Structure 1
């Protein structure tokens, strides 16, 4: 029994002495600073042969109808949703003072005609009398001729003035400038209307929706890559599943305020299923072989103020602002102060500071 106890104590002493002499070794691999960053490169390659952009339908023709003169609405013949034909009477206006002005112009024209007729007859008689020598002096004959020509000039002037007043009177009848549909009616009988500015509310808004314009804004980066020889493909959100194809009908050939060029595709709408204002997704074909700079999606740092990638230059982090283009499943097209082959962080974040050492 004592021998067993002694053996146990001896083993404990030996184990205790070993624990103080040799500590256990940690075999797990320690992480180095380099393991915190994964480095990649900017690549240059051909992307998809098309780009997806939003488009909006607009009426082929649209006009805001205003009154040409100050007047009152006497009668409205159309309402919102009315289909109208070119030349159809839409509204009748009234301006009491206009009627008196027309009558006055007609009266002056008639008076001028009578004066011209009298001058003409006087000159004719004097000319007949002048055939007898000494009956009429040459001066009187010349004065009569001058008076006749002056009166005839007054007739022409008053005739033009009367015609102008009749044209102005015709402004009281508002007619449709083209076939279409009334989409807005903002006045009723008795309302005071007049010539308006572009910011004023029109009497009526007329749209031609038998054919629509699909407007798409092409970003500056793709303006020179659009393939005009191929049809664009588009699907409307309101009519999913129906794929449409058509050629680009026209383009602005200039960049707007958002650094993009407007293009239009004519869309037939005989059945009136499509409505102005509808949105759709448009696939714009690009010229094949065009190459772009791409980076992995995770390499782009996005914030409310900027978008950038982190380049590695001389072992330090350098921020390079970029703009995104086509976004793929794993790569994104970028534009900015970068070039193919530049070293970048693959998993960038705002925790990395500019100028930070990247080992």
Structure 2
């Protein structure tokens, strides 16, 4: 069998080149795969480091403080009559007539009731008789003293006897004056049997009726009547200490009452207590309310709006109540500066509106205030502020 021919040298060289080329391509592909794998791992590690660093800086929500415009100060108030007087009996007896009842309009000096006073009348009769006796004794003593004085001038009687007669006259005159004063007192008590209105107004209470036993000057029991002058009313309001400086003469107010929904009434400041109550930390303020139409009733509750001057809210800013930080150093607010660093600033609460607060000092209108800061936040902490889009 004949032998196969051997390959030519050129053919062998071409085959070696193809193998080398394939080897180079394989190594290149392998190097690219390794490089891509290393680069991907580097990027992942870099992202992990960035994420870890970002997680170490807390994210906070920030807001701008709001401006506080001049506004009415709304407070609860209480209406009272301009004048109110409980009427008591000044003499003891039984009520014989009652001429008025609650709700009646009366004039000053008008008869309200009559009291039957038989005991006082008997005492007056006895005092009148005692006065007549004292008068007769005084007149007799006066004539006797006159006669003894004439006899003394002629030296018929001693000076001692004359002085005794004059002394007896002085005693009789004093007894007469005492008896006369007792008669006048009892007559005055009988005059009090007619119960009169002290001033014009409305009968707002009645504590007696016909046949009732009356004790003289018994202020521990309910009054016979209560008279209230409601042509004007006093409106009392307690103003918090933070607003006391804004209260002054000329201040006006408006208020509403539950019995007249949707309607407001005007009032004007007339007096202040000019002192703070220790327990409530507020100052009592009195306003005058005209009530000629008799629409308002004394003793009623009112929702009062005091029209404070613009200076009352100067320097105040409004923030959410959730922005406050309460610590031993005082009430504070956390602010973020341009370098995203935290600064803790002390503030003073001017007015508590529930969900919002008006504050004084420490914060500017252009500051970014952290809303709902954590309890662990401190001065100099770095944060990532989430500012509102607007």
- Report if aligned partners of 1:310, 1:317 keep a CA contact under 8 Å in 2: no
| Higher Rg | 2
Evaluate the alpha carbon distance shift between residue 42 and residue 155 of structure 1 in structure 2; reply closer, same or farther with a 3 A threshold.
farther
Distance 1:130 1:74, change over 3 A: same
Q: Secondary structure at the match of 2:227?
A: strand
Instruction: Determine whether 1:294 maps to 2:320.
Output: no
Deviation of the 1:207 alpha carbon: 0.9
Q: Hey, what's the Cα distance between the residues in 2 that align with 1:326 and 1:225?
A: 17
Aligned residue in 2 for 1:265: 287
Instruction: Give ranges in structure 1 of 5+ residues lacking alignment.
Output: 1-20, 303-307
What is the deviation of 1:205?
Answer: 1.8
Structure 2 partner of 1:15 = none
Cα deviation for residue 59 of structure 1 reads 0.7
**Cα distance in 2 between the residues matched to 1:322 and 1:188:** 59
2:254–2:267 contact (8 Å) kept in structure 1: yes
**Alignment match of 1:161 (pick from 182, 186, 190):** 182
CA distance in 2, matches of 1:137, 1:162: 38
Shift in CA distance, 197/135, structure 1 to aligned 2, threshold 3 Å: closer
Structure 1 residues 127 and 251: alpha-carbon distance in aligned structure 2, compared to 1, 3 A threshold: same
Distance 1:58 1:145 in 2: 62
More helix by share: 2
Q: Choose the corresponding residue for 2:113, options 88, 91, 99.
A: 91
Aligned twin of 1:58: 80
For residue 171 of structure 2, give the secondary structure of its aligned residue in structure 1.
Answer: helix
Q: Partners in 2 of 1:142 and 1:224 — Cα distance?
A: 75
Tell me if structure 2 keeps the 8 A contact 1:309–1:345: no
1:85, 1:278 → 2: CA distance? Answer: 24
- Aligned equivalent of 2:11: none
Q: Is the alpha carbon distance of 1:316 and 1:193 closer, same or farther for their aligned partners in structure 2, counting shifts above 3 Å?
A: farther
Deviation at 1:85, TM superposition (A): 1.2
Q: Would the aligned equivalents of 1:41 and 1:295 in 2 still touch at CA under 8 Å?
A: no
CA distance in 1, matches of 2:164, 2:141: 10
Within 2, Cα distance between the matches of 1:100 and 1:321? 78
Distance 1:32 1:186, change over 3 A: farther
Alignment RMSD, CA only? 4.1
What is the correspondence of 1:42-191 to structure 2 with a 5 Å cutoff? 47-130=69-152, 133-191=154-212
TM-score, structure 2 as length reference: 0.68
Unaligned runs of 5+ in 2: 1-36, 336-340, 383-390
Aligned residues: 327
